[in-house]
Amino acid sequence: MRNDLHIRPITPHLGAEVTGIDLRAAPEAMMDTVRTAFADHSVLFFPGQKLSPDELLHVTGRFGEVLLVPYVKGMDSHPDIIAVLKEADEKRISTFGGTWHTDFSFLPEPPDATLLQAVELPPVGGDTIWANQYLAYDSLSAGMQKLLDPLHAVHTGWPHGTMGPGPDAAVSKSIKMTRNDPSADREVLHPVVRIHPVTGRKALFVNPVYTQRFAEMSAAESKPLLDFLHMHCTRPEFQCRLTWRDGMLVMWDNRSTMHLAINDYDGHRRLLHRTTVKGAVPVGV
Ligand code: SIN
């Protein structure tokens, strides 16, 4: 593959396609341009990468420290990689990532970034959507921003969405959750508005899977405002969408986006390899 870098925005505010780069071997100066594009666009699509598991780990390491994700079993051969899989015969079930969320926001140090490599795709469907949480914050009224700026919210790994074995979720058996570890259910406080350490911009940081309530408020008291924020955060004009193609690699920023895997491809197998880049304690306003 030639190193002839081209960066093309997908929407005015979120996502860019990056071509003309071999991420395995690109020189550091070119990687710096990609890192700047990542800060500018939050989601990068890299068509035609087709990375083996070892190559995916190597490329992930070029963006930061690879995180061994807790509570989900990695591949036997590569524990740092999660095989995001739904088999063709798994029908009418929840899938991994099938509700709007930010990856593992219930960790004290949620991952900065996630990489996802297409391995086997359904003939049609199984798209992924992201929503820009800078825009979600910026488009709120000054009064609402002032209200939210000092707040913290409680996140826990016990989902009330469809990410895992919650009370009513029949989840793909192809993803091995190991969350019978009570530490996943502990309450972790994060700022509702976080400052991105690279861009300095403010982003909303709540999501319907892991955010339970505002700190020092009951769930019932928190619900009306959280419901509003969850609806607001995913407005279509904040989104970009990927229709996966063979060989596509995607990287997204969990500090400035939420995402959703669309579960519309029953009867077909979908397999992607997923790595994460270690993060830090989110900093509030
Ligand atoms: C995820 O949420 O990490 C999975 C996204 C996808 O399968 O498209």
- Closest protein CA for atom 1 of ligand 1: 97
User: How does pLDDT run across 21-33, given as a tens digit for each residue?
Assistant: 999 999 999 999 9
The stretches of the chain forming alpha helices (DSSP H) are 28-41, 53-61, 133-138, 142-148, 219-232
**Looking at per-residue confidence, does 181 or 94 come out higher?**
94
What is d(CA 228, CA 214) in angstroms, rounded to the nearest whole number?
13
What is the 144 CA–ligand 1 centroid distance (Å)? 30
With a Cβ cut-off of 6 Å, ligand 1 is lined by 84, 96-97, 114, 116, 128, 259, 261, 272, 274
What is the 214 CA–ligand 1 centroid distance (Å)? 26
Structure tokens at 168: 């009513």
What is d(CA 14, CA 138) in angstroms, rounded to the nearest whole number?
14
Q: What is the pTM of this model?
A: 0.94
Pocket probe mutation, ligand 1, options 45, 84, 269, max atoms within 8 Å of Cβ:
84
User: How does pLDDT run across 234-274, given as a tens digit for each residue?
Assistant: 999 999 999 999 999 999 999 999 999 999 999 999 999 99
198 in Cβ contact with 39 (< 8 Å): yes
Q: Determine the average pLDDT of the residues in 225-231.
A: 98
Report the nearest atom of ligand 1 relative to the CA of 101: 2
